[in-house]
């Protein structure tokens, strides 16, 4: 809700379509979701590198990085998690208008929050990628010891242990990040972007 009645939106003379033509590709939000340790951030950054090689403008919004700045005032209560995702949704919408492929890596455990961002982005602008990985494998990958601390009740409301994760029911893409090689997952994401005409078919970039 807008608290000020003295602000009026400004319509830019350069449109999203203008920027997309300049960039040579469509803009879209690619939303990587999954448990901590499922490989979201690693995959998002690898996809960014691949898109860079293809001459595309892309940027990764990483959950940990965002919480050091934009969302540094938020904790991990349900309300704070909802506000975290709300802010990211609004931010990535600006990147849509800028003609940039926005790659996000957030646990985003609640289906309702992800649905709100999808609705905010609009039809065809939101690609949900579910990084499916068993919690046992996520724990094995946990170099920070977060799962161990959560099981010892040193961390409250930890997703997958003491707080629920609502897996996507109809994501655009499901990746078995617990077993599939990283490069194979990257190629599946790029293929999805080609199929949806976000980027040009192979050989045309």
pLDDT digit string, tens, across residues 82-133: 998 999 999 999 999 999 999 999 999 999 999 999 999 999 999 999 999 9
> What value does the mean pLDDT take over residues 130-150?
92
Q: List the beta bridge partners of residue 131.
A: 175
Residue 203's SS3 state is coil
**Which of 78, 90, 92, 95 is CA-nearest to residue 31?**
92
Q: Is residue 179 domain-resident?
A: yes
Q: Which residue has the tokens 């995959």?
A: 43
Q: Is residue 107 domain-resident?
A: yes
108 is catalytic: yes
Domain that holds residue 54: 16-195
Q: What's the confidence (pLDDT) of residue 5?
A: 61
Is-contact 101 57, C-beta < 8 A? yes
Q: Is residue 9 domain-resident?
A: no
pLDDT higher than 80, residue 162: yes
Q: Token pair of 63, please?
A: 């959950």
Q: Is residue 203 domain-resident?
A: no
* Portion of the chain with pLDDT greater than 70, in percent: 94
Q: Is residue 90 domain-resident?
A: yes
Catalytic residue among 108, 162, 163, 176: 108
pLDDT higher than 90, residue 9: no
Number of domains, the chain: 1
Q: Is residue 143 domain-resident?
A: yes
Banded model confidence at residue 144, pLDDT cuts 50, 70, 90: confident
Mean per-residue pLDDT of the chain? 90
What is the CATH number for 97?
3.40.50.300
Q: Is residue 1 domain-resident?
A: no
Q: Is residue 2 domain-resident?
A: no
Q: What's the confidence (pLDDT) of residue 3?
A: 58
């Amino acid at each position: 809700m807008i608290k000020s009645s003295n602000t009026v939106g400004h319509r830019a003379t350069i449109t999203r379509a203008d920027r997309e033509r300049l960039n040579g590709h469509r803009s879209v939000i690619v939303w990587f979701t999954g448990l901590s340790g499922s490989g979201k951030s690693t995959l998002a950054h690898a996809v960014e590198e691949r898109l860079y090689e293809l001459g595309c403008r892309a940027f990764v919004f990483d959950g940990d990085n965002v919480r050091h700045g934009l969302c540094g005032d938020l904790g991990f209560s349900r309300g704070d998690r909802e506000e975290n995702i709300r802010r990211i949704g609004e931010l990535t919408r600006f990147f849509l208008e800028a003609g940039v492929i926005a790659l996000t890596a957030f646990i985003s455990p609640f289906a309702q929050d992800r649905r709100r961002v999808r609705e905010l982005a609009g039809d065809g602008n939101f690609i949900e990628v579910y990084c499916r990985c068993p919690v046992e494998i996520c724990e094995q990958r946990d170099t920070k010891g977060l799962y161990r601390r959560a099981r010892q009740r040193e961390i409250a409301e930890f997703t997958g242990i003491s707080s629920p994760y609502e897996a996507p029911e109809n994501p655009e893409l499901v990746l078995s990040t617990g077993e599939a090689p990283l490069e194979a997952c990257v190629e599946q994401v790029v293929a999805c972007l080609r199929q949806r005409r976000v980027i040009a078919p192979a050989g045309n970039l």
